[in-house]
Structure 1
Amino acid sequence: MSNNSSVAVGIFGQQFSFRVMFVQILVIIFLCINMLLIATFFKKECFHNSARHILFAVMLLSDSFVLILSDFFLVVNFLQFDIEVWLCTIISIVTFLYVMATPVTLTAMTLERYVAICLPLRHAELCSTRRSMSCILIIHGVSSVPCILILTMFFATASFSFYKKKALCSVEIFILHTWQRHLRSAVSQLYFLIMCIIIIFCYIQIVKVAKAASIENKQSTQRGLRTVILHAFQLLLCLIQLWTPFTEAAALAINVNLFLDIRYFNYVMFSIAPRCLSPLIYGLRDEIFCLVLKNNICFSAFRRSNKM
């Protein structure tokens, strides 16, 4: 019996090690792609005057922070490394903020496409560089509300000695009472509803413009429509992440191994995957951005060949 148990534990450990390594490979690949796209954005002056590209750069930075911090949590929890609650709180503040920043930024980018296609005469005014900077502040302000709410509830109920304790760092550490979980779920569902309404509204309005567009504008309108659809799919994955605590809680009530499988699937599918789509949707599909990126890569390769 003990031999079978040790074999089962060994197989589970190998499987979990493979999962962690698989995530490391994904994170490294997409962090490199993100850094390359961010460097491209800062190198070209024309991108700094485009609201679309400014918001894209903000989303890439948010995605990169989330990938790094969530991967840190994954490795620390895999190693069963306990850290003090006060340190976990500081790291979690940044994580909470940028987990929400991605769907909020996606919503802002969808609104920018709506203005560009449905209100083209006002696009230059509404999506100017100055307004884009204000939009970034609004994005971070809106994204910080759930974070502030969760941490305020935690600070109000946790004793001072609790901060000195050591524990595995996860979001569950901030939920000390059942009502806190319910309130967090209510806020997540409110965000889910508002973002879905905005996406559906923009989609319907762009479809109307696409049907009435002339032959000359039909191509650009259809392209904008495809971008909104891709945004909607990416945003859906991000928003489903807000619902994952429900599935994980249900799995934990059934079986611990099932809980670990569900949590890993949720992490890869609804945390990593939507952030890996950002470079594909807005980086490689954007003709100007893609052209500049190719020129930079070719120029770098040419310089290296000359040095050799």
Structure 2
Amino acid sequence: MQNVTNFPSNSSSHSRLPVIIKVCMVIPVFSIFLYCIAVMLRVFACHRRYLDSSRYILFAHMLINDTLQILSSVLLFLLVMGLVKSAIVFCVPLLFISTVTYQNTQLILATMSLERYVAIFYPLQCPAAWRSDRIWIIIMSLWLLSCMVVVINYSIGEPNPALASPLTTPVMCLPILINLSPIQILFNAAKSIFFFAAVAVIILFTYMRILIETRKLRQDSVSLSKAMHTVLLHGCQLLLSMLAFSIPITETLIVMHAKWPPEDIAFFNYFCFILIPRLLSPLIYGFRDQSLRGYIGKAFLCCLK
């Protein structure tokens, strides 16, 4: 999955000014995101009642997952912008974390939609796996599935002939170092289509069932309506997370209508379709929640003071 900074390897032709501009665009946005996430996690840590709800436990897990994804992605971006080369054994962990967390985002969104479905239709007979004290089993299963998919992708690849020694050969930390063979490209395409379709079906199914239930049960229409809007928000988050698949289309359009250098096209795609959606997704969900919004506002005021 080309979900990290996939800049061309001939970055030595960059002038220093564009590189400084790119870094100055990424670092402030990344800092604001990290600050907001730290405030939200502090709210969860200070108010233990949120950890008694499977919904908020999954949301906290999404915050941690997206933080790891952004951290690894921005670190890879800075390494490429600084023309820093290192051995492949040091690049693989960063690429692995970035790819696993990218994959995990879609699974978390599907799980959060299913949690709303279970909470609405089985309020008194909630399955054991969905209770707050057992939800970690589902969370660990998501991580295991994401890791297995990435390990399979790395395993079916062919060794890069340009690497004389994985321990000593200096390389730029780019996904193309690992996703090199045609079978890996085919596997990534099939995996992406399958997971996107599966998650989209789950979100659409839960949304339609809650919508039908809202029309049936007028006495509890407020809570059902909130659940329906929450699932709809998960669908919007899924679309935001899948914007990375539009990168080939935007690259073609930019090449046809503008004479941008390849590294500028790569940065535009990274900033607009990978970084920004990852920043907006948890922030929209967190500030939309009325219960969390009050605590987040107080936490911001305390930090400012």
Q: TM-score, normalised by structure 2?
A: 0.84
Deviations 1:275-307 (A, max 9, x none): 222443332222222233334445667xx6xxx
Aligned equivalent of 1:211: 215
**How many residues matched?**
290
Q: Which runs of 5+ in 1 are unaligned?
A: 1-8
* 2:177 aligns with one of 168, 173, 178: 173
Task: Tell me how far apart the structure 1 counterparts of residues 259 and 165 of structure 2 sit (CA, whole Å).
Answer: 26
Does residue 188 (structure 1) correspond to residue 192 (structure 2)? The answer is yes
Deviates more, 1:35-44 or 1:95-104: 95-104
Based on CA coordinates, which of the two structures has the bigger radius of gyration? 1
Does residue 100 (structure 1) correspond to residue 108 (structure 2)? The answer is no
* 1:273 aligns with one of 273, 276, 284: 276
Q: CA RMSD in A?
A: 2.8
Deviations 1:206-241 (A, max 9, x none): 111122221x42222222222211211111121232
1:252: Cα distance to partner?
10
Aligned 8 A contact 2:39 2:300 in 1: no
**Secondary structure of the structure 1 residue equivalent to 2:34:** helix
Deviates more, 1:255-264 or 1:200-209: 255-264
Change (3 A) 1:240 1:146: farther
Aligned equivalent of 1:40: 43
**Secondary structure of the structure 1 residue equivalent to 2:164:** helix
Counting helix residues as a fraction of each chain, which structure ranks higher?
A: 1
Does residue 229 (structure 1) correspond to residue 232 (structure 2)? The answer is yes
Task: Tell me how far apart the structure 2 counterparts of residues 21 and 40 of structure 1 sit (CA, whole Å).
Answer: 29
**Secondary structure of the structure 1 residue equivalent to 2:124:** helix
1:263: Cα distance to partner?
2.6
Aligned equivalent of 1:157: 159
Q: Identity of aligned pairs, percent?
A: 24
Give the 4+ runs in structure 1 shifted more than 6 A: 251-256
Q: Which runs of 5+ in 2 are unaligned?
A: 1-12
Q: TM-score, normalised by structure 1?
A: 0.83
Task: Tell me how far apart the structure 2 counterparts of residues 95 and 22 of structure 1 sit (CA, whole Å).
Answer: 20
* 2:17 aligns with one of 14, 18, 21: 14
1:251: Cα distance to partner?
7.7
Deviations 1:113-156 (A, max 9, x none): 122223333347552123211111011012213311222124x6
Q: Which has the higher contact order (CA 8 A, sep 6+)?
A: 2
- In the TM superposition, 1:288-303 aligns within 5 A as 288-297=291-300
